[in-house]
Structures are given as structure tokens and as C-alpha cells.
Amino acid sequence: MSQWWVVIGISAVCAVPGVLTGGLSYVTIPLLMSVGLEAHHAVATNKPAILLLGIMGIFGFRKELRHVPGRYWWLTVLMGVGSLIGAELLLILPVSWIRWGIILIAFVFVMPFRIPGMPSARLTGTHNPKPTFSWPGFVGTGFLALYNGMLGPGTVTMLISLFRFRAGLPMRTAIALSHILGLIGNSVAMVRFAAAALIHWSYAGGLAAGIAAGAYFGVLLGRRLPVRWMEWLLRGVLVILIVRLLRGSA
């Protein structure tokens, strides 16, 4: 029982910034392993709990979704199909290939700096009236969908960065849209893991309770924080993500 409360407490604290930046699975999966779950059981048990982060992020910033252009909703299909394909590729590709692939994706399509010849949005505060989303956005989202099915942690972080820094969507709109795509991909993976009886539902319930509580306060904070502060928080999480991936590929 004490381990259950540890899971709730840590997940609640980390979900406060996690709902704004993503990357929470890099905390929750090791947390589940620390209380005795094997790696594949920890990944599986994390999936239903992390859905709560997506639901809270979508609900909390639902009004911001009015800024999403209609064609962006096709990305929901891309995320669902890509996550299914990624889950199958996990069975045949070395994990190191996957890590190096996502590092390349992060630097080329996601990281917030200018690349000659590649479209990059000119940000205008809270709202860019003419978001741009051409081939880099669709290619980046497609690869992130594959990664979400293969491994998963950091997917929402890179989606938020892609939509904010590359496509030029308002920050809170980028958060809500990214959580929608993450919710779709994680739901696909959860169904597969549930069918294989890999999910420990008692720990998933505790983790979900902590995430829901922390994400609630994270949304309240996100409604008040200046956009510039949220962007720098996102950049910091991206750097941590890349370092973690590089260390895992060494």
C-alpha cells in the first residue's frame, strides 16, 4: 500500500509540468519499475494511466482547438495507423535503430531552430493567424507516430514542439492537439497490451489518480503562464529528452 501512495504522489507532482510539455512517461515508467514491475509490464501499465494526462490536456485547453485548421485533423488517422505499424516494427527492428531515428527526427523536424530550405513559422505571441504546415510537418508527425507505437516516451513533447515551432500554432492549441494525437496512439497500444494481459490495473489506477490530480493543477497553471515561459519550459524538456535518448543509444 505504501508503494501505491508513492506512485500517486510522484506522478501527481510530475504531471503538473507534464500536461504542458509531455515527457511524463520518462518518469512514470521507471517509477513503476522501481516498485517491482518488469520493463514490459511497466510500459503496458503506464498506457491506461497516461491516457488521463491526454484527457486532462484536451479538456483543459479545449477552447483553443478552434485555432486548428481543418486539414490538421487528418493527422489523427496518421497517428493511429502509424502507431499500429510502429508496434509491429518493434518486433523486428533493433531498439537502438529506433532511438537514433527519433533523435534525427527531433533535430530535423522538431527542434526550435531554423534550417535553410525548411519552412519555419514566424511566431506572433499567443496566436499566429496563418499557421504553416507543409511536408516537414506531415513527415515529422508520421515518424513520431511510428515511434509512439515502438517506444512512446517523449512523443507528445515533440508533437507540441512541432506544432508550435514549425507549424506556428498557438502554444495552448499545440498542447491540446498533441494530446489528442497522443491519446489516439496510446489507446491503440493499450488495447494490444490489455489483450496480452500485461497491464497491472491496481498500479495503473494509482498512477492515473496521481496524473489526473497533477494535470488538473498543471492546466490551471498553463492558463496563466506567459507563452514565452511555456516555450522555454518546452525547450528544456526537449533537451532532457534528447540527452536521455542519446544515453540510451550509447
Domain count, the chain: 1
The three cell numbers of residue 167 are 507549424
pLDDT of residue 55: 92
Checking if the pLDDT of 126 tops 60, the result is no
Checking if the pLDDT of 161 tops 90, the result is no
d(CA 211, CA 229): 22
The three cell numbers of residue 13 are 507532482
Residue 115's identity, in one-letter code, is I
The 10 Å Cβ neighbour count of residue 221 is 14
* Cell 507534464, residue located: 18
Would the pTM of this model clear 0.85, i.e. be above it?
no
**Per-residue pLDDT reduced to its tens digit, 35-73:** 888 877 888 888 888 898 999 999 989 988 888 877 788
Residue 14, domain extent: 2-249
Q: How confident is the model at residue 175 (pLDDT cuts 50, 70, 90)?
A: very high
